[in-house]
Structure 1
């Protein structure tokens, strides 16, 4: 029986969920988070049905549901012709108790999970503690930690790297982050203007060769919520140009009323990657979430796949620590989660982006027509929803031995 704790580097939602899943199975766990408090990253905010089910099993799904907005229907639109297809997740209600996309900022999940961890005697979350590297041997992992009182070393049985796309854990492993970075940056801003007044569902994607966009409602003080909108920008633009009031207003006026100015609650710009680590494991060190894979946000799969990593890994790691499974069981985690990420998350998010931005008019029309046919055929729509809701990817992962 291992006596040292499992250490999780990274106190975002993936690291915290991994810690909670381990702690609920009796594993002693320590989370190292470099920030002074829960990070308030506003990028991710969509939870798919199987993710909510996993959070239910950990006892925190209900709290997230109370804070979020249920979005049972979503649209694909064309900039010039309007609605192309509208999908209703009620078609897969026999597959999940949560036939909707749940919209809620990821930091709210982090706070809920953190609060649950504070109630467990075998879990600790250490803020202002940053993993700076590690060494390992057959008996465990020695982790270098930067703390408010200076450098320290923590001895762990295993180390889980959930420390984001710039992961120190992955870099120390010398694992390659294979893939590419999209040339354009994404502008994301929010407005309290209610897009439902213009016929939008709570989640919508607007196709256009130059100004495609992704739209989704988020909880806010009072109804009807706040609407987050993501646009591509030209590679040569400076950050100041992208974030300027004139440019932001030009984006939203491009598909709403051009004679109206819109209140903008916040705005940000960031680069988008499509990458997967060459391996998710080096002996007693494992990767999860953005440390293991990164993708564009079209489809809301990044955060969800990271939580799927966390729950999958915790199940196997707890079994290894209890002696129920050999250490090689962790290689199955790598096979299941890495392969599924490549087959589903990377493939689907790349396909989503190319659908929205296609420039060739014939190919563009062909793809939009195919989406119309899919939405109009109940069986095809159901199959499409099983994939886009990530139910199919979770089922596929279970099949991989």
Structure 2
């Protein structure tokens, strides 16, 4: 039987950041990642200014600069056949006035390399946490299964579930949650990008298609919104080229790339969820990131909220882990700290679902044939305070976390 001080389930942004910070604080920590590498397509790839500042504090600025990335400093809308900038990050406070698009696998590998020299850090790939171990009403670790079918147990003072919105450990704990209906799911796919294309984030709203295009340099990472639960019927009833043909009606500069999506195998489905645990913890267990609060892709803020959760957890819990004295009240402190930004973000997402996403998916909101900029957008652009608020909430959010002193490096 194996033992560690802190067992982290899931090697995503929250899990890897938490593992790095705890290890730098002298805590013995084991991170379990069920895959053999971090290479998964169409994972969230946005790194927001608050996370960029955190990487600076951790001494990882130069390492991050080496990663392939694209800087997004504006949001544009195609309105009546022309591109209009509706939001800019130029006026953001702080050093970083952009959102970086970075392949998530590169970011995770960078965090793993930074943690590897720490004597208390251990990363186990191809190992999935499958269930919690309970003793006398307390979580004392987790069971695991490797890719080869080997099973085992790891005991820990604290187990942290960072295994996403389908968290096995969250399900094993039986923690209650609040869920909100979402009007859409997402298809992810790639389209080649030409140098003459617009840059930045380009949402496309037409009567037949809603697409958010993310500038990745040599290609567009595209998310098209579909009605909730409609994926199986749409795949069976129509050819895949319907996506590109409907895009071409709105974005004519795609005309030379209509064959970019070859088959339905090129289109990945994201089942959109929006929920939040009533209580993120029980004795011996803490949930953070999507395991605690599944976020909508609206605003692409899920990664950064998960990272911020990890920073708060490391700052609050490291002294307690070092003395092997973590209590429920300590875990409650983490939830209290991270609840306000989670609630604010999910509230904004729910408003966006009702006021923009649902009408757009149903075809009621159509900007592609507008003869002039809608009045709401004209007012939005003319009032500086209103104009600056959405970029600020998107890029920085509220209650940003900073690296604890023990984890900082020059």
Is 1:89 the counterpart of 2:89 in the alignment? yes
* Distance 1:264-1:140 versus aligned 2 partners, 3 A rule: same
- Residue 247 of structure 1: aligned partner: 242
Secondary structure at the counterpart of residue 267 of structure 2: strand
Moved more, 142-151 or 320-329: 320-329
TM-score, normalization by structure 1 = 0.84
1-structure distance, mates of 2:42, 2:270: 12
Q: Distance in 2 between matches of 1:78 and 1:378?
A: 22
Which residue in the other structure is 1:341 paired with? 342
Instruction: Please state if 1:226 is matched with 2:236.
Output: no
Contact kept in structure 2, 1:243 and 1:267, CA below 8 Å? no
Contact 1:242 1:269 in 2 (8 A): no
Q: Give distance in 2, aligned partners of 1:372 and 1:104.
A: 32
Residue from 376, 382, 386 that aligns with 2:388: 382
* Corresponding residue SS for 2:175: coil
Matches within 5 A, 1:125-136: 125-134=123-132, 135-136=134-135
Deviation at 1:356, TM superposition (A): 4.8
Q: 2:98 aligns with which of 89, 100, 109?
A: 100
| Secondary structure of the corresponding residue to residue 18 of structure 1 | helix
Give RMSD over aligned pairs. 3.1
Counterpart residue number, 1:23? 23
| Superposed CA offset, 1:38-66 (max 9, x none) | 24242301111001112222333432333
**1:22 & 1:85 partners in 2: Cα distance?**
42
Is the CA contact 1:20–1:58 (under 8 Å) kept in the aligned structure 2? no
Higher relative contact order (CA 8 A, sep 6+): 2
Structure 2 residue runs without a partner (length 5+): 402-410
Q: Between Structure 1 and Structure 2, how many residues are aligned?
A: 382
Query: What is residue 221 of structure 1 aligned with on the other side?
Result: none
1:73 maps to which residue?
Answer: 73
Cα deviations by residue, 1:252-300 (Å, 9 ceiling, x for unpaired):
3132227534353743122111111222111221111111112221211
The 2-side partners of 1:174 and 1:16 are apart by 25
Q: TM-score normalized by structure 2? A: 0.83
Q: Residues 254 and 312 from structure 1, CA distance in 2 versus in 1: closer, same or farther, beyond 3 angstroms?
A: farther
Alignment of 1:359-370 (within 5 A): 369-370=375-376
Which of these residues, 239, 251, 254, is aligned with residue 256 of structure 1?
251
2:407 aligned residue: none
Q: Which residue of 2 aligns with 1:171?
A: 171
Deviations 1:295-336 (A, max 9, x none): 221211111111111111111110322459974233121022
* Residue 104 (structure 1) shift: 1.0
- Partners of 2:183 and 2:358 within 8 A in 1: no
CA spacing shift, 1:348–1:41, aligned 2, 3 Å: farther
Q: Superposed, which structure 2 residues align to 1:185-200 within 5 Å?
A: 185-194=185-194, 197-198=196-197, 200=198
Within 2, Cα distance between the matches of 1:277 and 1:23?
27
1:1-400 correspondence runs (5 A)? 4-77=4-77, 79-80=79-80, 82-83=82-83, 85-92=85-92, 95-134=93-132, 135-136=134-135, 141-147=140-146, 148=148, 150-194=150-194, 197-198=196-197, 200-208=198-206, 210-218=208-216, 224-234=217-227, 235-238=229-232, 240-241=235-236, 244-257=239-252, 259-262=255-258, 264=260, 266-322=266-322, 327=327, 328-344=329-345, 346-353=346-353, 354-358=355-359, 369-394=375-400
Shift of 1:28: 0.8
**1:198-237 C-alpha deviation (Å, 9 max, x unpaired):** 4x3311223345422211112xxxxx42111111224445
